[in-house]
């Protein structure tokens, strides 16, 4: 396990900022009410091309474990591809969802098509964050605010209102159905 390099950190933060916006600072800085800032500081660590989000205390303890024996530490946010791009995993949903800038709520009839790996069409959108631009990262939620996954908008909010019901509004990036569809490869290298 090692800290991220400067280019890796920039790539990771640009990807996370696409979904969280300015609230990305809340992921890095400890909460102001903490008594010991060292114990609650969260860090990003890399192990076998995967980026993990964990407390500094746990990351320091993990350094005593040999690299071949270490499987995971903290929450896996995603992995770097061979070309240097960062791909978010569904395991990052619990970290991203509370800090999301833009959100899309899906009607009950659109939940299953999304969870089976499909994109979201206009007919399945229940609510939409105001003034969401095109190609912006969004968190997809059920109507009761349960996060289902995340994606990228195909069109802005204004363009979506003029769209036909079968037009794609959000391209799926990851959904909680991946836990079942990719259970063999989700946590392996």
CA gap 95, 111 in Å, rounded: 21
Query: pLDDT tens for residues 112-157?
Result: 999 999 999 999 999 998 888 999 999 999 999 999 999 999 999 8
Residues of the chain with CATH 2.30.130.10: 102-180
Query: pLDDT tens for residues 157-178?
Result: 888 888 899 999 999 999 998 8
What is the CATH number assigned to the segment(s) 2-95? 3.10.450.220
Question: Do 57 and 47 contact (CB within 8 A), yes or no?
Answer: no
CA gap 98, 77 in Å, rounded: 15
Q: Which residue has the higher pLDDT, 68 or 5?
A: 5
pTM: 0.83
The whole-number average pLDDT for the span 87-113 is: 92
For domain 102-180, give its CATH number from 3.30.70.260, 2.30.130.10, 3.40.50.1700, 3.30.420.40.
Answer: 2.30.130.10
Residue-wise DSSP of 117-177: TPPEEGGGEEEE-TTPPTT-EEEEEETTS-EEEEEEESS-HHHHHTS-TTSEEEEEEEETT
Would you say residue 185 has pLDDT above 90? no
What's the whole-number average pLDDT of the chain? 87
Q: Which residue has the higher pLDDT, 35 or 174?
A: 174
Which residues 6+ apart lie within 8 Å of 182 measured at CB?
Answer: none
Would you say residue 85 has pLDDT above 70? yes
């Amino acid at each position: 396990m090692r800290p991220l390099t400067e280019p890796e950190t920039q790539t990771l933060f640009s990807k996370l900022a696409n979904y969280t916006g300015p609230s990305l600072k809340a992921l890095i800085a400890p909460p102001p009410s903490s008594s010991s800032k060292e114990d609650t500081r969260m860090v990003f660590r890399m192990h076998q091309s995967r980026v993990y989000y964990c407390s500094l205390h746990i990351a320091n303890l993990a350094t005593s474990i040999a690299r071949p024996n270490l499987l995971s530490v903290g929450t896996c946010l995603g992995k770097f591809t061979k070309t240097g791009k960062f791909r978010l995993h569904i395991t990052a949903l619990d970290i991203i969802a509370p800090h999301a800038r833009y959100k899309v709520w899906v009607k009950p009839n659109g939940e299953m098509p999304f969870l089976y790996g499909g994109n979201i069409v206009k007919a399945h959108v229940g609510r939409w964050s105001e003034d969401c631009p095109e190609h912006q990262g969004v968190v997809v939620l059920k109507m009761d605010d349960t996060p289902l996954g995340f994606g990228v908008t195909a069109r802005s909010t204004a363009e979506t209102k003029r769209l036909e019901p079968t037009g794609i509004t959000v391209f799926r990036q990851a959904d909680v159905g991946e836990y079942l569809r990719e259970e063999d490869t989700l946590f392996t290298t």
